[in-house]
Amino acid sequence: MTEHPARVGRAGGPAGAGELLELVRSGRAVTRGALQQATGLSRATVGQRLDRLFRAGWLREGAGGPVGSPLGGRPSITLEFDDSHAVVLAADLDTRHARAAVLTLTGEILAEHSGTLVIGDGPEAVLSELGRWLGELLVKAGRPAAEVCGIGLAVPGPVDTGTGRVVQPPMMPGWDGYDITGRLSRAFTEHTGAPAVPVLVDNDANLMAYGEQRAGHPDCAAFVLVKVSTGIGAGVVVDGSVYRGIDGGAGDIGHIRVGADALCRCGSHGCLAAVASGGAVARRLAESGVPAASGADVRDLLAAGHPQAAALAREAGRRVGDVLATVVTLLNPGVLMIAGDLAGTPFLTGVRELLYQRALPRSTAHLDVVTSRLGERAALIGAGALVVEHLYAPERAEERLRALGV
């Protein structure tokens, strides 16, 4: 059969198995005929590409689709991404607490654990303990370590995603420039006996934004999430991808100067985080005799209806809303999500008061200001999705198929 001119794949030649997998995973083409039409490849070539994906266990046949012809006939067999062939591990580190999970390739949590893990204890101790958690979670989920295809990690600091290392993180003493990916990969092997797997590291607000946007706002082309806990950070998702800036520093709004005298953990005076974060609210409460040491403590006080905590959270929200007026004017997002320990009614009320007062009506006319949908699992979901999108992207998928010998 003569092959029609094929559409060029990402590598510059005809679409390979990786491109076909992406078409199926995205839902843009889920039958053999649709793949032929989308790629310009012949039926035989599409069949050969699909055979590699079937042998790898990455695709399966689903139910028959609707009959395409008015004359009837057999329905087309649909193709589906088979998420049962592997699992992903994900972890989210906060300053004094961590959460980890085993997830399917489509983001379902199979097993989860949370507990105290103090980031100030340093990367060696924290990542070794995290490796132990991950090994125990695999046992709990009933999945062998050999099925793990990658690990995603969220950290509360700026990350150079090219190296996986944090860069001058104010809330992570002793972590600057540390080889997080290498150590966590070794910890995984030490506690499971399995070979090393890829480890991807990103900022927690970035991964929260990625998880929330994909789960609840997939059609939003410009999405901003602001996490207000012990510190303040923002994640930005544009056209489905995290915007990180040139070296991972995008979204670090907690260190925008707001004209106050308070000393920030970064060493500067007047940062937004020094006056409006959960840590800042906790300090003010403690100074007035209310026991509070962190954003988590403030969250608990807010949940209990503590009036002073509510008043301070609303004031903090106003300060953050003032800064977000500029963010919204610059980025023109469709969704602005408030997440983290302070993401309750008092704080959100304060944000809205200043945001709508200071931003131009044009910037907020089509803006939804909302709170988190995934809650404390947002960064886990985002970290898992980051790993899957990396490993099954067309070029990387081709490399992995060759390594599997299919």
Mean pLDDT score of the chain: 92
Residue 9 is predicted with a pLDDT of 61
**From residue 393, how far is each of 18, 79, 270 by CA, in Å?**
7, 18, 42
Per-residue model confidence (pLDDT) at position 69: 47
**Contact partners, residue 289, CB within 8 Å, separation at least 6:** none
Task: Yes or no: say if 336 and 369 are a contact pair by the CB < 8 Å rule.
Answer: yes
pLDDT (tens digit, 9 = 90+) per residue, 98-112? 999 999 999 999 999
Residue 161 has what pLDDT?
A: 87
Residue 1 has pLDDT above 60, yes or no: no
Q: Give me the numbers of helices (H) and strands (E) for the chain, helices first please.
A: 14, 14
Asked if 123 and 174 count as a contact pair (C-beta separation under 8 A), the reply is yes
- The reported pLDDT for the residue numbered 18 is 97
Q: Is the pLDDT of residue 380 over 50?
A: yes
Gap between the Cα atoms of 397 and 395, Å rounded: 5
3-state class (DSSP) for residue 323: helix
Pairwise pLDDT comparison (247 vs 44), residue with the higher score: 44
pLDDT digits (tens, 9 = 90+) for 124-176: 999 999 999 999 999 999 999 999 999 999 999 999 988 999 998 988 999 99
pLDDT at 62: 86
Q: At 4, is the pLDDT very low, low, confident or very high (cuts 50, 70, 90)? A: very low
pLDDT for res 370: 95
φ, ψ (nearest 5 deg) of residue 376: -70, -10
Instruction: Write down the pTM of the prediction.
Output: 0.91
**Rounded to the nearest 10 degrees, what angle do helices 43-56 and 17-26 cross at?**
80
User: Residue 14 has what pLDDT?
Assistant: 85
- pLDDT category at 3 given cuts 50, 70, 90 is very low
Tens of pLDDT, residue by residue over 251-280, are 999 999 998 888 898 889 999 999 999 999
Distances (CA, A) of 196 to 183, 366, 397: 10, 46, 18
Spatial neighbors of 74 by CB under 8 A, at least 6 apart, are 64, 67
**Strands annotated E in 190-306:** 199-203, 222-228, 232-238, 241-242
